Structure 1
Amino acid sequence: MITDLNNIKSKDTEKEKERKEKKFLEKIFGRTTKADLKNEIDSLKIMIKQSSASVSKQEIWEKTKASIVVTHHSKMLNNNKSSKEQPVTYDLIDESREGDVKVRMPLKRKISITSSYGARKHPLFGTTRFHNGIDMAAWYENVYSVLDGTVTDTGWDSRGGGNYIKIRHFNRFETSYLHLSEIYYHPGEHVNAGFIIAKSGNSGNSTGPHLHFSVKEFGKSINPVHFLNDLIRVNNLIDIYNE
């Protein structure tokens, strides 16, 4: 009887483990099992082999990557109310892989957030305002596009942002980079993740050189810290399941 009870308990434990694994995979990838995910990857490989000369492997990969990014991001990026930032984790991406960049940080250095997302006391005017991005310490240094995209706007922000550039990604997200000293692209031009798009500076209403980075999803402001960390996780999940 004891043996039978132990066997039942063991089976229940295995079922619970399998249920949790399925739930995790379904949450992250929209798949039920690892086999489903493997079949998806195998189908992708077949598509690449059978594709005509007019459809490149890179084009197929870009479409697949975009799908994974937006699916994962829409599920993971929901907490936009808190004005208190959690520590930013940047040890999940290999910055040395110059030839295979899928995600890049806005700065090629250790990120130091000097002003967080949410309500804050404005450093110049002293009034409490909603800060729709994060400020990063940056002393006149290169600014990078975080994902592939198309430049939608550049110019001077009369509301205090100074020189800025905005980039559209996957027809869903828009990243903005403000207080720049130099801008290297024009509206309509395509950029890849890791392209140097500008140089940080002290333009506009600013107390010193820094980079203001903000993100919108379908036109709505979201927390840039969550956005960056989730994209890094997606980048590493793609690498793991492509091995």
Structure 2
Amino acid sequence: MKLKRIKILLAVFTFAGNLISAQFNTLMPVQPKKESQEYKKSAETQEENAATLKKTKKPWIKIFNSPSRSDLKNEIDSLKILIKDLGAKSSEKKSGYQKMKDSLLALTMQRFKDQEQKPKKKQSLTKYDPVEEYEEPISKIVMPVKNKMTITSSYGTRTHPIFGTKKMHNGIDLKASYENVYSIMDGIVTAAGWDPKGGGNYMKVRHFNRFETSYLHLSEIYYKPGEKVAAGYVIGRSGNSGNSTGPHLHFSVKEFGQSINPARFLNDLIKANNLIAIYNEQ
């Protein structure tokens, strides 16, 4: 038992000695480290800046732009004057703007009133002349040739210019050298082509189921049987075809199938046409 106590005391003293030695070790002074070159340079720079500030002999207030009370007062006074001037100019601008606005408004109202007072223009409509009805004349005729008609061989018995024998000439020969031949009245072509009896190229036109006109010795034919023609239509061209001694137009007329004198027929047509024209003028 005593031996155990002795061991415990020795352990306690050993732990206390170690603790005391550890405390003394912690309180040991730390050796100063050598200053680096960078630290020395920064210290030198700070000293140079301090010397420069001393040379300028300026107070800290001016260096950091901190004005004094008098400076602040002067600045406040100048700001007050500036604000006052700006307010005056702003009021002047506002009044000028208001005047301009009022004048524009007045001008607009005046123009509006002028437009209301002006009479509105009515849209003009296009005017047209009345359509005149065309009234066809009761009878219309055209001569078979355009130029003045000259009869070179009359209607009736004659000596044939080629055969030398006396023969009935059932038409008249009109002077016409390769020129237009006209239908004397409205009608329908009943025959057209070549006449084997010596008439050459020919055409026949029936008018109102009463008259039939024939055109012989043509050089050209412009219509076929069955086609309608009107008075004044160019139905062919005169020539020298068939039994002929020279270019001319043989013109003949039949009434109800009987040959009549074409010259008298044309004269009767002319007289009737002139009477109708005088009647229409009156």
* Superposed pair shares fold, TM > 0.5: yes
Which protein, 1 or 2, shows the higher relative CO under an 8 Å CA cutoff with sep ≥ 6?
1
* 1:223 aligned onto 2:261: yes
Shift of 1:103: 1.0
Q: Flag structure 2 segments of 5+ consecutive residues without an equivalent.
A: 1-132
| 1:206, distance to aligned residue in structure 2 (A) | 0.3
Distance 1:242 1:173 in 2: 25
1:57 Cα deviation after fit? 7.1
SS of alignment partner, residue 188 of structure 1: coil
User: CA–CA distance in 1 between the matches of 2:276 and 2:176?
Assistant: 30
From 108, 121, 133, the equivalent of 2:159 is: 121
2:198 corresponding residue in structure 1: 160
- Percent identical among aligned pairs is 70
Shift of 1:201: 0.4
Alignment RMSD = 1.4
Deviation per residue, 1:27-65 (Å, 9 max, x gap): xxxxxxxxxxxxxxxxxxxxxxxxxxxxx975xx57x54
Partner residue in 1 for 2:246? 208
Higher strand share: 1
**Amino acid in the other structure paired with 2:246:** G
Task: Give the secondary structure class of the aligned counterpart of 2:206.
Answer: strand
Cα distance in structure 1, aligned partners of 2:183 and 2:228: 11
The answer as to 2:112 corresponding to 1:112 is no
Name the residue aligned to 1:174. 212
SS of the counterpart of 1:229? helix
Alpha-carbon distance in structure 2 between the residues aligned to 1:159 and 1:131: 13
Aligned partner of residue 109 in structure 1, secondary structure: coil
| Partner AA of 2:264 in structure 1 | H
Counterpart AA for 2:219 = S
Show CA shifts across 1:10-38 (max 9, x none).
Answer: xxxxxxxxxxxxxxxxxxxxxxxxxxxxx
| Separation in 1, partners of 2:245, 2:175 | 12
1:6 maps to: none
Q: Deviations over 1:184-239 (max 9, x none)?
A: 01111111111100000000000010000000000000000000011011111111
* Matched residue type, 2:262: P
Counterpart of 1:133 in structure 2 is 171
For 1:147, the equivalent position in structure 2 comes to 185
SS in structure 2 of the partner of residue 124 of structure 1: coil
TM-score by length of 2: 0.51
The Cα of 1:112 is off from its aligned counterpart by 1.1
Give the secondary-structure state (helix, strand or coil) at the position aligned to 1:153. strand
User: In structure 2, what residue type is equivalent to 1:235?
Assistant: N
Larger radius of gyration: 2
